[in-house]
Structure 1
Amino acid sequence: MTTSQTKKKGAGFPSPDLVRAVLKGHSGLGLAFAALLYLICLTGTIAVFANEFYRWENPQVERMETISGDAVQAAYRAAMDRAKGPVEHVYVLMPSKDRPWPTVRIDTEDGTRTTWIVDSEGRITGALRESWTHFLTRLHINLHLPQRWGIFIVGLSGVALLSSLISGLLAHPRIFRDAFHLRLGGSRRLQEADLHNRIGVWALPFHVTVSLTGALLGLSTVIIGAIGLAVFQGDTAKVYAIFTPPHPAEDTRPAPPVDLRPLFAKVAEREPGAPISYLVVEHPTEQGAAVMFEVESGTTRIASNDVYAFDRSGALYYQQQAAQNNIGQQILGSLGPLHFGWFGGGIVKIAYGLLGLGLTYLAAGGVHIWLARRRDKGRPAPGWERVWAAIVWGQPLALTCAAIAALFTVVGAVPIWTWGTISLAALAAAAVATPASLSGVGRNGTGALLIALAIGHAILFGANDMMALIVDGSLALMGASLLDVSSYSRTRLQVKSA
């Protein structure tokens, strides 16, 4: 064998054997986490618009750009008076562009949590309606499992997604060269494969950002534990101290609720005119009470809030300027906004929503390709085809039903039970129904219910908030699109059968 022949035989990276091995691993990893990744990607795409859904659930609330310290003091005291039991924390979320009204949340020592909406004078106008938004965000963040385990599982799924992206690139050496090569209208498997690969390449920076930040957020406890073990002999408190404000000195002696008004004045002295994002009151009826403010610094950083913490006497015991954050603080403060697209305004959110739909398609499309490949090789898996159709179209249907339950009932636990019931019913239907009928019922049912939801919301709550109307219009448009897609698919089947 000549030298040139030897070079030719060994040329090329990665080698065909490595490509086959990586492709096998890519398929196995995707299949192992398929349903979980699909659910997390779908709910994450919707959760990008969490603040818009808060406004959709509360469209009749008085909107404002700012609220005075005196009004916040009045609202905080009114909420304290309504608390049932000793209060551990009070969270005041100030008005913002995304949510143009303030809320006061009371956490009592027995674990009860109540969030109130207040008007510009500091009067409580009612409890915050958040059944749907809370259900959605908790489903994405911890799957409604015990928080520590749920967040860990979601973080592990982020690792699996990131690994799938990397293995997908290695398994397709020509993926960038063929970035605009689409085989449409022919074999369904080839068409699905091309769309899967093209979407993976076109939005690769987004996919990597979302999967990496999701993994870091979900596995933060594990990461901090590992750092504590390696650097501080297992003392994780020292690791947290690097990134978060210290707790005030503990003093449990009873005292009147801390007065917030002079503290607002002290913050204004340090940053005149800077809007306050939120504030937290720790142990407000103890001598060891403390208040922490987060203030928008106006920097261009994603993590752009300055922090000031005062004790009961008004002494500043901690401050942190965003411009002076260390690398760890910048990364930690940027993870949430980067993951959900909560920076840069509405345009960024819309982009995240569209890209998130693409990522959701990737999660679903990988299984479709695997099932089509088995069918082409003469080894179909009809049972798995039915199950996957039930999952892919059962989840939009279940989430829409959960939104309807949240909107038209007053019991906070209803959305999760509704979602769980519809999800199980869809899986049960997979035992007898065909994939085509499951898909058709899921598409038509979701489309019709989305339109009904939009109309019902508009009738029930009126048109006091333009954002609520935009959400209603978007829901109706998505519903009509699903009905149109279902009609188009049925027409194609009739033409093929003819």
Structure 2
Amino acid sequence: MAKSLWPKSSSERVDSALSAHSVMGLVISALLFVICVSGTIAVFEDELEWWEQAGTPTVHEVSPSVMQATAEEVLKRDPETTHLYMYPPRENWPRFVAGGDNGIFVLNESGEFVRQLEAPWNDFLIELHYYLTMPHSLGIIIVAIFGVMLVSMAVSGLLAHPRIFRDAFRFRRTGQARLAQADLHNRLSVWTTPFLIAVAGTGAMIGLFGVVAFVFAQTNFGGDTKKLSEAIFGGEILEADATPAPITGVDTALINLDRDIPEANPFIVIIHEPGTKSQHIEIYGDETNRLIYGETYTYSTDGKLLATGHNSDGPVGQQIAMSMYRLHFGDFGGALMKSIYFLLGIMLCIVVATGLNIYFLKRREKGRAAPRLEAMWSGWIWGSMAMFPITLTVSLLGVSGGWLIAMFWLGSIVFSGVATVWMSAASAGLMFRAIFGAALLSASLVHLLRGDMDWTNAYMVTISVALLATGGAFVARALWSKRFSAEPATTVQAG
């Protein structure tokens, strides 16, 4: 018999690890599933924002003179802003948007303001994934804790399965339902472990940065978090001077950057303290071959390079901190990498869902079945899934903000409650999958009926086709099945 590469484990350690794994799974699975699903969808947040925003023009290039004129116009529209933001187009993001602290606008290649950038469902999605729609300071810490627990569950799950490498490709689809669910859970867990640790770990680091920074500042910088931030990211470039001054130098800074560092690939231009003597221009350059978010170049209004951020060649801690976002969301490697992250995210969602399926099936085998809890879990899984396209559809009809948040949580609870009281786990899963598919179709159809579909825009066409195809597949499966209400008692359909 082949010798396992995994270290031999005592039965006590396996039982202890499995027990810890199960308890953590029961505590966090419901909200963790929502975080995983929203994160999987958020991989395409830029594309979805564009799809949701009606009439956004495609822009491939913007001249420095247009950038300068845009900055002047934004300051006229938002004179109280302390920063101006401009996002010129780049290869995988052919748009031009700009604005201040009080609003961002969509522009064409000539710098004409087309409309205010409004993507209420995309905003809701980010609020859900980053903060679980809680107050930001609390929500981001809670989500980060979920990330820590997810990494812990991955480690405890590996320790609980000493033959995990030998069985990496073992997948039983027939026989006991629990064994089939366990194989699905374990195989996907193994295959997605590097992805899970990278994504959950970076999410935890992003969310807990404020807490860690506070503690570190207390022990190393006399409690001054500003000094800590300056030690990592650098301090203020110019001393504050609120004396009014015309906004100038954006075009000069961009021209000089292109001359001095032609490979910089600017994708964000931020003007700090615009309209004052202390204003300066910070430009983010896209480091296409690195994970860091970008290198920064700060210019004065007369075109002098004041500072470089050294995000690409500075201290290791700084480079790691600047790499968290792209590693977490797969925002590197273009559309292919995003697609890989999306597929791995789906697998992670299945792992979370099947974790409790296994628990319920074990209870059945021991004669302690909990059919109401099974139905509740099935209703939550597919009910919350259905609420994503349902809220997308109503947002396209004009609903936004807190209404989307309330609708998502109340709708998910109602789905789960209905399943608990009136349905079996299997029938709830099948019925709610049909609703999920129908909602995907409705979202894509409402978008088409609004009449602002740009058929020359590959991003919009791809998303619409994907919604129609996925929704159609789910609805077709439901129509072909005759098991809406009568299902075998040994089958759990939550996952």
Matching residue within 451, 457, 462 for 1:465: 457
Q: What's the secondary structure of 1:285's corresponding residue? A: coil
Separation in 1 of the partners of 2:364 and 2:192? 29
Q: Which residue of 1 aligns with 2:394?
A: 405
Taking structure 1 as the reference length, the TM-score comes to 0.91
1:17-56 pair list within 5 angstroms: 17-56=12-51
Kept in 2, the 8 Å contact 1:31–1:367? The answer is: yes
Q: Which residue of 2 aligns with 1:441?
A: 431
Kept in 2, the 8 Å contact 1:258–1:284? The answer is: no
Stretch moving more, 232-241 or 35-44: 232-241
1:265 and 2:255 correspond: yes
Separation in 1 of the partners of 2:400 and 2:14? 53
Separation in 2 of the partners of 1:410 and 1:80? 30
Q: Which residue of 2 aligns with 1:153?
A: 142
1:282 and 2:272 correspond: yes
Separation in 2 of the partners of 1:221 and 1:60? 38
Separation in 1 of the partners of 2:81 and 2:248? 12
Q: What's the secondary structure of 2:167's corresponding residue? A: coil
For residues 250-282 of structure 1, what are the alpha-carbon distances to aligned partners after superposition, in whole Å with 9 as ceiling and x for unaligned? 222333334422222232232136421101112
Matching residue within 215, 236, 244 for 2:233: 244
TM superposition shift of 1:451: 1.2
Separation in 2 of the partners of 1:411 and 1:219? 29
TM superposition shift of 1:17: 0.6
Stretch moving more, 257-266 or 151-160: 257-266
Kept in 1, the 8 Å contact 2:427–2:487? The answer is: no
1:35-434 pair list within 5 angstroms: 35-58=30-53, 60-83=55-78, 86-107=80-101, 113-247=102-236, 248-272=238-262, 274-297=264-287, 300-303=289-292, 305-409=294-398, 411-434=400-423
Letter matched to residue 175 of structure 2: G
Q: What's the secondary structure of 2:174's corresponding residue? A: coil
Separation in 1 of the partners of 2:9 and 2:215? 34
Separation in 1 of the partners of 2:347 and 2:400? 34
Letter matched to residue 245 of structure 2: A
Q: What's the secondary structure of 2:82's corresponding residue? A: strand
Number of residue pairs the alignment of both structures matches: 479
Q: Which residue of 2 aligns with 1:110?
A: none
Kept in 2, the 8 Å contact 1:78–1:124? The answer is: no
Separation in 2 of the partners of 1:256 and 1:455? 48
Separation in 2 of the partners of 1:191 and 1:273? 52
Stretch moving more, 233-242 or 408-417: 408-417
Kept in 2, the 8 Å contact 1:297–1:322? The answer is: no
For residues 91-133 of structure 1, what are the alpha-carbon distances to aligned partners after superposition, in whole Å with 9 as ceiling and x for unaligned? 11111233211111210xxxxx311011111110101131111
For residues 39-85 of structure 1, what are the alpha-carbon distances to aligned partners after superposition, in whole Å with 9 as ceiling and x for unaligned? 111011100111111221236322122211111122222222222x6
Separation in 2 of the partners of 1:167 and 1:333? 29
Unpaired segments of 5 or more residues in structure 1?
A: 1-11, 108-112
Separation in 1 of the partners of 2:482 and 2:14? 38
Separation in 1 of the partners of 2:401 and 2:12? 54
Stretch moving more, 204-213 or 281-290: 281-290
Separation in 2 of the partners of 1:488 and 1:32? 36
Stretch moving more, 377-386 or 319-328: 319-328
Stretch moving more, 281-290 or 45-54: 281-290
Taking structure 2 as the reference length, the TM-score comes to 0.91
